[in-house]
């Protein structure tokens, strides 16, 4: 609205009063508008109330239509989550949760967010049943459909502990906003649940918006030493696929497989496979090898899976001279607990920790370099990483073997590996907390064909101008062109007059 100009002081005063009135009316209107907002919109982001959720983190249960959000509180409470696809308090979906106690009495809560649309962005808040104490709002992207070729990213680091470096790494991961975070074991270094809770509170920086899928390390097993956390304490705080210790899940076009090898890397009777009751499994290397090999073999027959990533705590390859009894054969350690399976089943990346340094290999097969450089093209052998850089950095001496691509062991390093996965390429960077990118490479993969062809019968003898039938079965898939043709060839024996033998079908590349 405008004000018509008038002459004289009175007119100027009138104009000023009118302007003030318009301003006051505008302010009052603003207050009325805010007052009409839903109560959820007026709620500030972050914890509110006397008993707010703490240590919030998301878990992926191998189902793109669900997500689990877990947290703890200082005192007993009920639990509820509200969620929807719009920010600002419009939450059309709501569910109550499960309230339970950890082995040492921490008040834990978990709610399953269901009926999610894969790949969609969701906004949510969590709290008690009445939302008198709550945390709002956070957001996350639902998992992509299985077999999807859309790009996603994940971060990985191990050897955390409760330190300022842990907080720094957590905040640095938050800044790149990955879909998944893989903590690679040795997470807490304490039997005290107060420390465990504090670490989950630091992880909330990324955990409230990324799926957190941890591997277990040797310090997540009971010991006479005071810096070990019992497995059941760890399992109480996380909600993961299967039995929570050794497990696998498919995220988009990638199979992720995590292995719990137990307290000692050279002990073939501890650790568990991915079967059995919650937080359990069949013990021993033989059971673990059988389970891992079966999951990877099934992945190789699945046309929706392009990439295979194994993440664990103990090392298969170590780029330093520290003697940690590697899981793969080396000088003085002939036992092969896993390298033959990793190589034969075509695993692409093996993420490890245990040593509190950063290093990685070139693609390597039984200590032989397959490809050098920083652009790998269908190497047919895994790249191995040591990412013990979560929060307790140390130093070591580097090996000079040809398969060592990068080794920063002489320098204390904190940070994480960041992987961006697309249909045919993985782009990798190691991001140090203060220095930024210290290492990078690209891995391109042209998936091999996996199919079998059978013909029944393999040959048919028939008279001239007659017809015959053969059943041709093609099982599996091929990314290359495959043609099926009917050729001619000499008969096995002299045919009778007016007849000829039809040879076998031959195959050429064709897309299926």
CA distance 423 to 305: 10
pTM: 0.81
> Which of 81, 80, 85, 83 is closest to 93 using CA atoms?
83
CA distance 226 to 160: 16
**Per-residue pLDDT, 431:** 98
Is the confidence at residue 19, as pLDDT, over 50? no
Question: Domains of the chain by range and CATH?
Answer: 46-143 (2.60.40.380), 146-444 (3.60.21.10), 450-509 (no CATH)
Average model confidence (pLDDT) for the chain?
86
pLDDT band at 465 (very low <50, low <70, confident <90, very high): confident
What average pLDDT does this structure show over 404-429? 98
**Per-residue pLDDT, 121:** 97
What average pLDDT does this structure show over 132-158? 97
pLDDT above 90 coverage of the chain, percent = 73
Is the confidence at residue 165, as pLDDT, over 50? yes
Place of tokens 């079967």: 275
What average pLDDT does this structure show over 88-116? 96
Sequence-separated (6 or more) residues with CB below 8 Å from residue 326:
265, 314, 315, 316, 317, 318, 333
**Per-residue pLDDT, 338:** 96
Place of tokens 């990068």: 406
CA distance 139 to 117: 14
Largest interatomic CA distance in the chain: 126
**Per-residue pLDDT, 448:** 61
Is the confidence at residue 32, as pLDDT, over 80? no
| Of the candidate ranges 129-133, 170-174, 203-207, 502-506, the one whose mean pLDDT is the lowest | 502-506
Residue 414 in contact with residue 393, Cβ under 8 Å?
yes
Q: Tokens for 461?
A: 């003898």
How does pLDDT run across 340-352, given as a tens digit for each residue? 999 999 999 999 9
**Per-residue pLDDT, 263:** 96
**What Rg do the C-alpha atoms of the chain give, in angstroms?**
30
Place of tokens 């590349």: 509
Q: Tokens for 236?
A: 């109480």
Q: Tokens for 89?
A: 């308090």
- What is the distance of C-alpha 228 from the center of its chain? 25
Q: How many CB atoms lie within 10 A of CB 18?
A: 12
Compute the Cα dihedral for 43, 48, 51, 56 and give only its sign.
positive
What average pLDDT does this structure show over 186-204? 98
């Amino acid at each position: 609205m405008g004000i018509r100009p008038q002459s004289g002081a009175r007119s100027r005063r009138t104009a000023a009063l009118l302007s003030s009135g318009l301003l006051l009316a505008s302010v009052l209107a603003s207050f009325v508008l805010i007052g009409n907002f839903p109560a959820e919109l007026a709620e500030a982001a972050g914890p509110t109330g006397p008993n707010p959720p703490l240590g919030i983190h998301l878990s992926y249960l191998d189902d793109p239509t669900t997500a689990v959000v877990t947290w703890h509180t200082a005192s007993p409470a009920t639990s509820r989550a509200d969620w929807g696809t719009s920010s600002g308090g419009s939450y059309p979906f709501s569910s109550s949760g499960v309230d339970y106690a950890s082995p040492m009495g921490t008040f834990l809560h978990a709610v399953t967010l269901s009926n999610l649309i894969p790949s969609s962005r969701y906004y949510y808040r969590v709290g008690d049943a009445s939302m008198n104490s709550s945390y709002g709002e956070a957001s996350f992207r639902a998992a992509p459909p299985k077999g999807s070729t859309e790009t996603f990213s994940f971060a990985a680091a191990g050897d955390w502990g409760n330190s300022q470096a842990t907080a720094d790494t957590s905040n640095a991961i938050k800044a790149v906003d990955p879909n998944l975070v893989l903590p690679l074991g040795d997470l807490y270094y304490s039997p005290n649940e107060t420390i465990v809770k504090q670490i989950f509170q630091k992880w909330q920086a990324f955990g409230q918006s990324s799926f957190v899928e941890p591997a277990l390390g040797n310090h997540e097993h009971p010991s006479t030493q005071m810096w070990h956390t019992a497995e059941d304490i760890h399992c109480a705080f996380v909600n993961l696929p299967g039995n929570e210790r050794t497990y696998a899940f498919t995220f988009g076009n990638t199979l992720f497989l995590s292995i719990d090898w137990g307290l000692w890397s050279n002990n073939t009777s501890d650790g568990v496979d991915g079967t059995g009751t919650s937080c359990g499994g069949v013990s021993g290397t033989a059971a673990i090898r059988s389970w891992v090999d079966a999951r990877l073999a099934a992945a190789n027959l699945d046309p929706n899976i392009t990439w295979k990533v194994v993440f664990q705590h103990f090392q298969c390859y170590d780029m330093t001279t520290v003697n940690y009894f590697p899981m793969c054969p080396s000088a003085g350690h002939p036992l092969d607990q896993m390298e033959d399976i990793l190589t034969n089943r075509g695993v692409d990346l093996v993420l490890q920790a245990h040593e509190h340094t950063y290093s990685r290999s070139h693609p390597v097969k039984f200590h032989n370099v397959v490809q050098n450089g920083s652009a790998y093209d269908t190497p047919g052998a895994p790249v191995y990483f040591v990412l013990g850089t979560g929060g307790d950095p140390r130093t070591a001496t580097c090996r000079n073997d040809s398969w060592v691509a990068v080794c920063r062991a002489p320098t204390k390093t904190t940070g994480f590996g960041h992987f961006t996965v697309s249909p045919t390429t993985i782009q990798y960077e190691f991001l140090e907390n203060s220095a930024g990118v210290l290492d990078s490479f690209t891995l391109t993969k042209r998936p091999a064909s996996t199919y079998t062809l059978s013909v029944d019968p393999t040959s048919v003898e028939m008279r001239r101008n007659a017809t015959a039938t053969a059943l041709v079965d093609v099982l599996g898939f091929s990314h290359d062109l495959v043609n099926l043709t009917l050729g001619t060839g000499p008969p096995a024996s002299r045919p009778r007059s007016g007849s000829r033998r039809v040879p076998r079908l031959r195959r050429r590349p064709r897309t299926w």
